[in-house]
Amino acid sequence: MTAVNSDEAYADIREGVGRICADFPGSYWRDLDARRAYPADFVEALSRQGYLAAMIPEEYGGAGLDLQASAVILEEIHRQGCNAAACHAQMYTMGTLLRHGSEEQKRTYLPAIAEGRLRLQAFGVTEPASGTDTLALRTTARREGDDYVINGQKIWTSRAEYSDLMILLARTGPRGEGDARTEGLSVFLVDLRELVGNGVTIRPIRTMMNHATTEVFFDDARIPASALIGEEGRGFRYVLSGMNAERILIGAECIGDAKWFLSTASDYAREREVFGGPIGRNQGIQFPLARAYAHMIAAEGLLYRAAARYDAGGNPGVEANAAKMLAADASWEAAEACVQTHGGFGFAEEYDVERKFRETRLYQVAPISTNLILCHIAEKALGLPKSY
């Protein structure tokens, strides 16, 4: 097991992703941000080069890369000032389909996803009354003959407008008690193409950053029983098993953001002259950047260690969660230091700092909020009573 955490590791991936990102400079993202428009060209370019099929096994037409390599792809996108939020779900939902999907589901969908003909970008878990408390979700899937009929509402279902498929978590049975409390939920691979306007309505939510997130309403939406992934009633376990990979991948985006903020701030601090010299010679400018750098490399080391353990067949829950939290903290600390280093220009759109600052704030809340990570660590690593 070798954990990668240096810029030299996976140099070919970094270089390839870097070449694509060079065609999508800050002006591209600023324009989309102002219009809250989806980066379709960017996603298309990544798909064409196979980067969004990184985790699909070669036998289904993908690159068959491991989690470490996939994390490097997302980290590099963010390090270059781009944003993978438009397309990262294709990587982090893959575990559910690969580990628990039937051979027929994999043969039907994976080759088309790998070729970029089908998009699996939507993950419908959160509901208005159940964010952190997933087990309280109310959307139902009722079996009727060869179909399931879905009723309910999801919220914050990002990219639903730009995805052909959605991984959906819905209730197929009553919530159990005690150890059985996770039962009664099932996962479906929903083909949205025929359902939108036919039982499914998608409404965009405008947020503080450009994120293409939505509300999705299900009103007697009928899907074939073959859309069920794995066994009925075991869906929560399936989704949970993919969540450590998700934590690691999102954490990698935070590391990429932190690196972008730190290099952008350092470049500026070397060039900007105030009182007859570069502001970067002042320790008041240096120290916040140096501190954020130290926190970033610590988070990076833990993150790639967790990824290596995952690739070796483990399921490192505490490490993956801790790495995601530390990486999100490091990117936020670096973002704050970058704005401060830029003075007034940190607030000007053309410097991209304020846009990246808004974008990286999300990771304190989604896909899991910092408090819940601390709850998990307290319970699993320290043996303290469960608080939720």
Active site residues: 246
Quick one: which H or E segment has residue 214?
A: strand 213-224
- Specify the DSSP class assigned to residue 8: T
Query: How many angstroms separate the Cα of 205 from the Cα of each of 36, 37, 65, 96, 313?
Result: 10, 12, 34, 26, 38
Asked if 240 interacts with ligand FAD (CB under 6 A), we say no
Closest CA to 149 of 216, 227, 229: 227
Asked if 163 interacts with ligand FAD (CB under 6 A), we say no
Q: Which of 108, 182, 201, 207 binds ligand FAD (CB under 6 A)?
A: 207
Closer to ligand FAD by Cβ: residue 214 or 264: 214
Smallest gap from Cβ 264 to ligand FAD, in A, equals 23
What three-state secondary structure class fits 151? strand
Quick one: which H or E segment has residue 191?
A: strand 185-191
Question: Virtual CA dihedral for 147, 149, 155, 159, nearest 10 degrees?
Answer: 30
Asked if 210 interacts with ligand FAD (CB under 6 A), we say no
Closest CA to 250 of 97, 70, 378: 70
C-alpha 48/C-alpha 42 separation (Å) is 10
Nearest residue (beta carbon) to ligand FAD: 131
Q: Which of 147, 371, 377, 379 binds ligand FAD (CB under 6 A)?
A: 371
Asked if 158 interacts with ligand FAD (CB under 6 A), we say yes
What three-state secondary structure class fits 260? helix
Q: Which of 98, 240, 372, 377 binds ligand FAD (CB under 6 A)?
A: 372
Q: Which of 52, 73, 125, 221 binds ligand FAD (CB under 6 A)?
A: 125
Task: Evaluate the omega torsion of the peptide bond into residue 316 and state whether it is cis, within 30 degrees of 0.
Answer: no
Smallest gap from Cβ 123 to ligand FAD, in A, equals 5
Asked if 321 interacts with ligand FAD (CB under 6 A), we say no
Total number of residues that touch ligand FAD (CB under 6 A): 23
C-alpha 260/C-alpha 353 separation (Å) is 9
Asked if 165 interacts with ligand FAD (CB under 6 A), we say no
Asked if 187 interacts with ligand FAD (CB under 6 A), we say no
Asked if 378 interacts with ligand FAD (CB under 6 A), we say no
Beta-strand pair 213-224/147-155: antiparallel
Asked if 9 interacts with ligand FAD (CB under 6 A), we say no
Query: How many angstroms separate the Cα of 94 from the Cα of each of 91, 106, 247, 316?
Result: 5, 10, 13, 18
Using CB under 6 A, which residues numbered 343 to 362 contact ligand FAD?
A: 362
Q: Which of 79, 88, 119, 211 binds ligand FAD (CB under 6 A)?
A: 211
Using CB under 6 A, which residues numbered 127 to 156 contact ligand FAD?
A: 131-132, 156
In this chain, which stretch among 105-113, 126-134, 271-279, 298-306 interacts with ligand FAD, using CB under 6 A? 126-134
Question: Do the beta carbons of residue 73 and residue 37 sit within 8 Å?
Answer: no
Residue 377: how many CA atoms within 13 Å on its side-chain side?
15
What three-state secondary structure class fits 53? helix
In this chain, which stretch among 32-40, 106-114, 336-344, 371-379 interacts with ligand FAD, using CB under 6 A? 371-379
Closer to ligand FAD by Cβ: residue 25 or 204: 204
Smallest gap from Cβ 367 to ligand FAD, in A, equals 5
Give the interface with ligand FAD as residue ranges (CB under 6 A).
123-126, 131-132, 156-158, 207, 211, 213, 362, 365-369, 371-372, 375, 387-388
